[in-house]
Structure 1
Amino acid sequence: MQTLSTSVVSLHSYVESHTNEKKLSKTSDKKVSIIYFLALFYTFLSLGFGAGLIGPTLLKFGEQINSPLDRVVYILFARSFGFLVGTLAGGFLIDAFPLLGRTFLACSLFFMSATTIMIPFMDHIIPMIMVHLMWSLTAGVVDNLAQLLTIRYYAQVNFNPYLQALHGAFGVGAFLSPLIIAPFLQSTSPPDQWHYAYWLIGCLHIPNLVWISIYAIRDELCSKKPKEITLENKEVIFEDTKLETTIAPDDQTKSPGKVLFLGLITVFILLYVGGESAFGAYIHTYASLHLNFKKDIAAYLNSVFWASFAISRFCGVALSIKLSAIQMLLADLFGCIGSMSLLLILNKSSLAIWIGSVLFGLSVGSIYPSAI
């Protein structure tokens, strides 16, 4: 689930209104850092790790907390609700404290890593739900801040490829996560063997935490006070070591037409995210319970879905050059309807679920970047 704060709307307005203007001499001497982008890329990779874990282990949660599936699904509700609140909180944080984005991102990564490691220790449903809620809250903040920091940092160049790459990184992480956990779900493995996958992925967050923390300490907590320049009622802030742009709200973004358009896009993305997250979370359970897949094989089914999702995200970068956003969205929606129809009609076919998962992943993967 992805959400951008109101600062993104203001930022797009600023970039479009200055595309044909001469850049400031001070900014022209600056060069953007690909190393910084790789840190943000790793951040979205970590988000993908967490998203890909939930599907293959949903039944394991029920075994550990000794609860039926109809109670275990409250974990998914808690994760979705927490992600929604977290993305909103991330937007408010970056708007209220625009110079502390990396600091908040580092703190959120710490809690995301800690809660991932804590999940295997929860043996009752309420503590399990609370830990998942904490994870999703911090993951929502991470999702929002990483996108906003990317847009802000690359505002003076074409940031679209960088943003598309972030979304692709999420798909790569979600693809790798079931592959990591599949060996721990084999029938010959001990019942609690899946714990090691959570601990491993929790530890994989740590290098990312250290990486972002270095930028936060160097560029925010220990940096000199930035110089502020007013340019056509836009507040532009330059740091000594990095180039970032913070934009004050534009009155034009508050027009009724744009507010209505933003509301419709929000509802559309809400429906899209619900379909994507529900499919990724339930496809393993459906294949295991109704098609008698072995748990490790069902994990590979999860991985295939997220692999096609990642391919769609990366291919969307090239397709967006030739096709308009409307054309891409229409193609994606037809693909989603077709793949879902296939799965509904041939719901007892093992081959159909593999084909349908691939087609749905290819169709749904580029919806969010195209809508944005």
Structure 2
Amino acid sequence: MKLLDERIWSLFKRHWRHTLTYWSVFFSFGLCIAFLGPTILDLRCQTQSTLQQITWVFFSQQFFLLVGSSVGGLFKKTLLSSLSALFSCTLIISLVFAIIPLCHHVVLLSIAMAIAGKAMGVIDTIANLQLVKLYQKDSAIFLQALHFFTGLGALVSPLVADPFLAEDSCVLGANWTTNSSSSSSSDLHHLRSSLAGHGAALQNISQYPLNTDGTVITRVSYAFWIMALINLPVPAAVLTLMYYERLLPCFSNSPRLLDKDSLASTSPAGDSGQGHGSVFGCYNPAKLRNRPPTFFLLHALGGAILFITDGIIGSYAGFVYTYAVSPPLLMAHKTAGYLDSIFWASITAGRLAFIYMSYRYTAPRLLTFSLVGVILVQCTLLIFYTSCVFLFIGTCVLGLCISSVFPSMLAYTEDLLDYKGCATTVLVTSASTGEMILQLLVGSVIHSKGSYSFLLCCTIASFIGFCLFLLLLYVQHIHRNRYTDSSKNMDMKEKPNPGGS
């Protein structure tokens, strides 16, 4: 145990500058992903748009996050391109925070969020790729820490915004009266909680008519400027790492540190990482012609599992409030509003706990524990669907169980594929796609079948995810055997024939 401690600590000391930098950019990612839900109503006032119009801002951010994730691998061929992309993207996030208060039309706001979403997607792919490349078989621990920083940023963002959010309507029409204040405040609290889960509950907002014309009174601009300042040390950290690695123009004639200690040299197979790229250009037919079918199946199954589990996270965060305030629970709006915060806090705490768990246990064990735990929690929530107390307990346990699936699956799939394929790009893109698409599907089912179907959809998705994981274990067993055999055959073909032809 001591030897493992010393080895991992030695690895961290060797790469601590890179590691801390990648962790910090994921704090920036979390900061940006969580601010929109709490502030969306104030942004509606700022742009003087309807609720239906402003919720398209959510779609803009999510769609371009998916685009950024899919093309992020293009920037990882060299350390210079990776760090340059991270510096640009983290700086863009600060700039977007700064200019959001200047966007007084919903189209301008959507464009700003699209730019931020693409930057977030690139950050998501590159930071995961580079950490896997640095630590490889030991990457699970550091990936858990990476995703903990996402949760930390997601917790900080709403806390910064909260003091500046409007208590009542932030657009005062000519017929505004004191008597309408309390009802408007209640509606605003209900809407804010409904929209906290990345704007998933779009079907239920038309019943709340709010003013679009009148005097705008909102202080949310200060929240964005504060977040822009909080985020500025992140691009500064990336720039500092580039300075240390002598990647800045002023060092163009100097020998670079990465030349004498290339990150690519850490690969046991000597892979330079050129197989990684955008999700569309990942599979080069010339390079992958001799790969066994299981090679592609592992990519597909790993992506499908994260499609399901990240979709569950997005759906649960988006609709647990709607479920809680609907029959049979009929929970008070203010009380139900805490569910989303508890869910994200438990995910953050779970990722912190799994940093140690990843050191003690293998990725397959952690994934089995997590996916079985998710199923048990979902089934118990279905059984005790009338209990408000158990909904809070189940929300907390669900967050703890599902928190480690993404980093564990990423580390495990890359390990199965010997760090040669496009696993990280495919898995990150699949997770982003699942989070967006499953929310829309679950939202449509809830709208047509009722709020109880929310738990049923999440439970079915949990079973599908676990079945896919069992299939992944079976395929990896076949892949290990076939890949070893094919490698031996390739080695035999490459050896010169001493007897001639």
| Fold match by TM threshold 0.5 | yes
**Distance in 2 separating the partners of 1:98 and 1:53:** 30
Q: In structure 1, how many angstroms separate the alpha carbons of the residues matched to 2:294 and 2:397?
A: 35
| CA distance in structure 2 between the aligned counterparts of 1:152 and 1:105, rounded to whole angstroms | 16
CA offsets, 1:292-328, max 9 Å, x none?
534xx77754432222101111222333345443443
Q: Which runs of 5+ in 2 are unaligned?
A: 1-9, 171-216, 265-271, 276-286, 411-501
Q: Which residue of 2 aligns with 1:164?
A: 144
Distance 1:69 1:186, change over 3 A: closer
Q: Is the 8 A contact 2:17 2:241 kept in 1?
A: no
Moved more, 41-50 or 192-201: 192-201
Alignment match, 1:138: 119
Give 3-state SS (helix, strand or coil) of 1:311's partner. helix
1:305 touches 1:361 (CA, 8 Å); kept in 2? yes
Question: Given the alignment, which residue of 105, 127, 138 partners 1:124?
Answer: 105
- Find the counterpart in structure 2 of residue 305 from structure 1: 343
- Which secondary structure state, in structure 2, belongs to the residue aligned with residue 192 of structure 1? coil
Greater mean deviation of Cα atoms: 111-120 or 42-51: 111-120
> 2: CA distance between counterparts of 1:61 and 1:282?
22
User: Using the alignment, how far apart are the partners of 1:71 and 1:253 within structure 2?
Assistant: 50
Task: Calculate the TM-score normalised by the size of structure 1.
Answer: 0.75
1:196 aligns with one of 206, 222, 225: 222
Query: Is contact 1:48-1:171 (8 Å) kept?
Result: yes
**Kept after mapping to 2: 8 A contact 1:287/1:298:** yes
> Structure 1 stretches of 5 or more lacking a match?
1-27, 229-236
Q: State the Cα RMSD in Å.
A: 3.6
Q: TM-score, normalized by length of structure 2?
A: 0.57
For 2:219, the aligned partner's letter is: Q
Post-superposition offset of 1:371: 1.4
Residue 112 of structure 1 aligns with which residue?
93
Q: Which residue of 1 aligns with 2:154?
A: 174
Change in Cα spacing, 1:167 to 1:368, as seen in structure 2 (3 Å) is same
Pairing partner for 2:356 from 303, 318, 329? 318
Name which of structure 1's ranges 121-130 and 278-287 shifts more when overlaid on structure 2. 278-287
Correspondences of 1:224-263 after superposition (within 5 Å): 238-240=258-260, 243-245=262-264, 246-249=272-275, 251=288, 254-263=291-300
- Contact 1:182/1:299, CA 8 A, preserved across alignment: no
- Listed one character per residue, the Cα deviations across residues 86-126 of structure 1 (whole Å, up to 9, x for unaligned) are 0122101213x554211111011111111122223333332
What is the alpha-carbon distance in structure 2 between the residues aligned to residue 109 and residue 177 of structure 1? 15
- 2:72–2:125 CA contact under 8 A, matched in 1: yes
Q: % of aligned pairs identical?
A: 26
Is the Cα–Cα contact under 8 Å of residues 55 and 281 in structure 1 kept in the other structure? no
Shift of 1:259: 0.7
8 Å CA contact 1:47, 1:139 repeated in 2: yes
Is residue 2:384 matched to residue 1:358?
A: no
Report Cα offsets for 1:162-214 as digits up to 9, x if no partner.
22211111112212222222333363797523332222112211111111112
- Whether the 8 Å contact between 2:44 and 2:50 is mirrored in structure 1 is yes
Aligned to 1:58: 40
Equivalent residue, structure 2, for 1:102: 83
Aligned residue for 2:263, secondary structure, equals coil
Bigger Rg, structure 1 or 2: 2
The one-letter code matched in structure 2 to 1:361 is G
Deviation at 1:284, TM superposition (A): 6.3
User: Residues of 2 paired with 1:346 and 1:70: CA distance?
Assistant: 34
| One-letter code aligned to 1:209 | P
| Contact kept in structure 2, 1:55 and 1:285, CA below 8 Å | no
* Counterparts in 2 of 1:298 and 1:45: CA distance versus 1, 3 Å: farther
Look up the equivalent residue of 2:101 and give its one-letter code. P
Alignment partner, residue 26 of structure 2: 44
Aligned pair in 2 of structure 1 residues 137, 221: CA closer, same or farther (>3 Å)?
Answer: same
The superposition leaves residues 49-74 of structure 1 with CA deviations (integer Å, 9 ceiling, x where unpaired) of 11221232234344444445444432
Instruction: Name the counterpart of 1:207.
Output: 233
SS in structure 1 of the partner of residue 67 of structure 2: helix
Greater CA deviation, 356-365 or 308-317?
A: 356-365
User: Superposed, which structure 2 residues align to 1:283-302 within 5 Å?
Assistant: 291-294=331-334, 301-302=339-340
Deviations along 1:228-253, one digit per CA (max 9) or x if unpaired, are 9xxxxxxxx9424x542134447599
Alignment length (residue pairs): 332
